[in-house]
Amino acid sequence: MKRPHNFTLSFYWFAWELHWAALLGATLQADIARFMPETFYGRASAILGGFGAFVAILTQYGAGRASDLVRRRAPFIIVGTLLDIVALFVFAKAPSFAAAVLGFASVNIALNIAGGPYQALIPDRVDKGKQGTASAYMGFMRLAGTVVGLLLAKVFVHQPGPGVTAATLELGLTELVAAISLVLLAALAVTIFGVKEQPGDVPAPQPVFAHWESRTSFWWLIVQRSFVSCGLYSILPFLGFYLRFALHISGFLSASLTLLLVMVVCSLAGTVPAGIIGDRVQKKSIIYIALAMVATGALALAFLTSLTPVYAVAVIIGVGWGAYYSVDWALATVLLPPGRAGALMAIWNLGTSAPQVAAPIIGGLLVDKLGEATGNFGLAYRTLFGLVATFVVLGAIALSFVREPRREPGKGVSLESS
């Protein structure tokens, strides 16, 4: 079986993250601020993000398992990408909050038809002893896509307010999804023509839940990822509102995008070195350090009172985020048995997708209820970032139960160590 270059395997991740960064980084907040009152921002975030992520979970598993059974990934990637482009334009034209919820759910369904099978390509096509390096490429592409997605959102997404018409808002969103669509088509071409899927490239399907040596560790890794993702997905939807209510920043959408860009650019510094080193040392050690940085940064946000030090915190969170991003993914791939990557990677990705449902609901209800009870929404958003740090710490505790496969010289990955 021909091994495609890591760049080719990972380029679709660039488009994937560009897509989600542009939507989650500002577009959803703009729709919420456009259609809903300030006292309902938290619950609206829960509805919009939570419902979209729920349908994504179901779609990703279904598509991933189907690609295992038919032993093909490419058809799902093609169909899902093309459907997503249609759904993006439907979402951009949404005339109401209810229409935006349905449009965003359609986007989640479509792109996850592609995403479930796509994420199985590295386990399919890369030797376990080299998956740290492959995951470093993946992490770099994902974070680079996040940078570009946030920049596109900064250019095209307008903050609702006096003097900003509905036509202006809709035009900006339409231009944004047009740009996203072009990148998706380019990434699709690179993936399909670069990977050149052949019969036999996908291992023969196996029962999804049959026993394998690292099964218990795999499930603990899902628990770990779920806690950490609950923390990360409590940052993205609420950072702008934190700036608005806790730090009293009037242009909160622009400031939020700038901070997210700082985080992501700094995360690039941690991604590739951590992934490559992860092929040589225990991956868990790198993940612990990364989580400590993210938890420390999130806790600091609960106490800061001005914007300037938030940029320093963004650097700390960013470097930790980048290191975690690539190494955690690489650890999951080396735990996988053959013939089940599509379904099991979709199940493992529940550690990301389920928190996309849970985090907006938990965070949204927390800030709305606490804000209403105390009359201080700034305190509510500070409390939310204390909760983010707690989630990350719980993730580190869950990681301690994962037994990481270790490499023996000349024998690849074998045996298990604590």
CB atoms within 10 A of CB 120: 25
According to the model, what pLDDT value does residue 73 have? 85
Whole-Å CA distances, 217 to 71, 157, 298, 391, 396: 26, 42, 27, 19, 14
- Residue 161: per-residue pLDDT: 75
* Confidence (pLDDT) at 3: 63
pLDDT of residue 61: 83
Residue 81 contacts by C-beta under 8 Å, 6 or more apart in sequence? 110, 111, 114, 184, 185, 187, 188
Question: Nearest to residue 311, comparing CAs of 265, 368, 377, 360?
Answer: 265
Q: What is the pLDDT of residue 22?
A: 87
Domain boundaries, the chain: 6-417
pLDDT digits (tens, 9 = 90+) for 394-409: 999 999 999 987 654 4
Parallel/antiparallel/unpaired status of strands 404-408 and 412-417: antiparallel
- Ranges of residues in the chain with a pLDDT under 70 are 1-4, 25, 126-132, 199-210, 275, 278, 338-342, 406-418
Segment 13-60, tens digit of pLDDT:
899 989 988 887 677 878 888 888 877 877 887 787 777 778 888 888
Tokens of 362: 């938990």
pLDDT of residue 135: 73
Using CA atoms, how far apart are residues 210 and 278, in angstroms rounded to an integer?
28
For the 6-417 domain, the top CATH level (class) is mainly alpha
Q: How many residues does the chain have?
A: 418
- 243: closest CA among 233, 234, 253? 253
